[in-house]
């Protein structure tokens, strides 16, 4: 029976071609949108973790309450002891100390007078330690445009856009004017040894990167840091695992009566990405449901039109004694075959488009010039395990549902009227 049905569909394109095209288009859109959203939100989460919050972050309670202001006067103290404890308790994780700071970069001329200056956002990271993971985490090595990475204390990297604006050359001296941890003004000299471009507008407009030890010295922050960032194994964020670590740490280290006691937060809490991640998790379900409804309506109408064209065929089958239930089931079997074929073609098309966007990317830098969000300027799709099978939900379910709805008319046919219908 199944072979008979498949042969009938292959030989009669009017019964299969249009439904397969409809299914393939719906599956194509579903697969592509799932991969696109996974890529965009994945890039946002990854960039936020790498450049801002980590998967978990330890700060002082006072710093956490005002973290948007980057208040280094409320910095976390005793970071070396805390890092040693965390590395011993969670050796599979990566722990790093960071200092974010703001200030003014001053570029002197040959006479030592100010030639140009601009506000900057600075990052103090571990650049000089032999086993540092920060070069990989922040993708510093691949982001160098000119020059080289800092090799000695007192050397910094600045963004290529800022270097062009200030007309800075490699080897030039730069003076950082900022405030110390204790609120006094400080000036510290650095040597520009390289320029960088991260592809994130918020950083490329005016970022400088220096070794964290140099920044601690410049800001009078010995054994202090803005925060300690922790990254889960393989740099893959798991919200449940992160929450468990946060709860355990806060239960043993946080003192509600001491505003300078350490407190830990996770990526979702610190970055306000909770809504986006929840939306991402629900989007695939919404997408499938929407396309099931739309495609079911379309295929229902297609089934009704096909039923009118096959009115005589169904009448003959009923007249020779074929049960209505058997005819109804045979139509469902046809729809299953159509759904499978359409889903395969649609998934292949969706994967092809998603792979292209994953490799080439969509450059949105023209729309991100004034953005302050830590998101990349090139959006890419991401093909996940779900991408391979998500299209079969609307492809199969909608096809079968449409056939079931349109095939109900078979049970309304009156056997007594069959010969009169066939005479007509």
Give 309 or 319, the one with higher predicted confidence: 319
Tell me which of 69-73, 269-273, 307-311 is least confident.
307-311
Q: With cut-offs at 50, 70 and 90, classify the pLDDT of residue 2.
A: low
SS3 state of residue 7: helix
Query: Is the Cβ–Cβ distance between 46 and 231 less than 8 Å?
Result: no
Q: Which residues contact 26 (CB under 8 A, 6 or more apart)?
A: 291, 294, 295, 346, 394, 395, 398
State pLDDT tens for residues 122-153.
999 999 888 888 888 888 888 888 999 999 99
The Cα–Cα gap between 397 and 67 comes to 48
Give me the pLDDT at residue 224, please: 92
Q: Is the pTM of this model over 0.85?
A: no
pLDDT at 84: 92
Q: In whole angstroms, how far apart are CA 169 and each of 107, 159, 162, 195, 319?
A: 10, 12, 11, 9, 91
Looking at 170-174, 228-232, 318-322, 393-397, which range is the least confident one?
A: 318-322
Q: Give percent of the chain above pLDDT 90.
A: 27
d(CA 237, CA 229): 13
pLDDT averaged over every residue in the chain: 81
Q: What is the pLDDT of residue 331?
A: 79
Q: Which of 162, 155, 154 is nearest to 120 (CA)?
A: 162
User: So what's the pLDDT on residue 368?
Assistant: 53
pLDDT band at 96 (very low <50, low <70, confident <90, very high): very high
* pLDDT higher than threshold 90 for residue 228: yes
pLDDT value at position 291?
72
More reliable by pLDDT, 410 or 167? 167
**85-111: average pLDDT:** 90
Please state which of the ranges 2-11, 114-123, 163-172 shows the lowest mean pLDDT.
2-11
């Amino acid at each position: 029976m199944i072979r008979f049905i498949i042969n009938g569909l292959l030989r009669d394109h009017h019964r299969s071609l249009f439904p397969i095209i409809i299914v393939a288009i719906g599956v194509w859109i579903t697969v592509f949108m799932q991969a696109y959203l996974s890529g965009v939100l994945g890039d946002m989460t990854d960039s936020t973790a790498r450049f801002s919050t980590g998967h978990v972050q330890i700060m002082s309670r006072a710093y956490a309450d005002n973290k948007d202001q980057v208040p280094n006067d409320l910095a976390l103290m005793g970071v070396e002891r805390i890092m040693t404890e965390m590395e011993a308790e969670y050796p599979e994780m990566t722990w790093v100390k960071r200092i974010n700071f703001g200030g003014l970069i001053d570029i002197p001329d040959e006479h030592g007078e100010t030639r140009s200056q601009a506000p900057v956002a600075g990052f103090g990271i571990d650049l000089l330690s032999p086993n540092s993971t920060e070069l990989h985490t922040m993708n510093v090595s691949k982001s160098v445009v000119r020059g080289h990475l800092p090799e000695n204390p007192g050397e910094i990297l600045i963004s290529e856009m800022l270097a062009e604006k200030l007309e800075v050359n490699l080897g030039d001296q730069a003076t950082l004017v900022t405030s110390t941890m204790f609120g006094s003004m400080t000036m510290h000299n650095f040597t520009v040894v390289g320029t960088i471009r991260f592809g994130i507008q918020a950083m490329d407009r005016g970022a400088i990167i220096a070794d964290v030890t140099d920044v601690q010295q410049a800001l009078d922050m010995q054994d202090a840091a803005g925060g300690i960032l922790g990254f889960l194994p393989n740099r893959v964020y798991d919200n449940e695992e992160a929450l468990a670590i946060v709860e355990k740490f806060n239960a043993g280290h946080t003192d509600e009566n001491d505003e300078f006691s350490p407190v830990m937060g996770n990526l979702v809490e610190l970055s306000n990405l909770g809504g986006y991640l929840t939306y991402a998790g629900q989007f695939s379900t919404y997408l499938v449901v929407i396309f099931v409804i739309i495609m079911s309506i379309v295929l229902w109408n297609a089934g009704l039109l096909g039923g009118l064209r096959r009115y005589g065929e169904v009448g003959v089958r009923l007249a020779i004694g074929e049960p209505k239930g058997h005819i109804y089931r045979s139509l469902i079997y046809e729809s299953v075959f159509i759904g499978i074929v359409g889903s395969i073609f649609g998934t292949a098309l969706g994967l092809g488009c998603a792979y292209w966007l994953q490799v080439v990317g969509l450059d949105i830098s023209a729309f991100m010039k004034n953005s302050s969000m830590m998101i990349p300027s090139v959006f890419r799709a991401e093909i996940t395990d779900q991408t391979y099978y998500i299209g079969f939900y609307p492809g199969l379910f909608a096809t079968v549902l449409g056939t079931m709805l349109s095939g109900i008319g078979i049970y309304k046919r009156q056997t007594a009227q069959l010969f009169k219908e066939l005479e007509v």
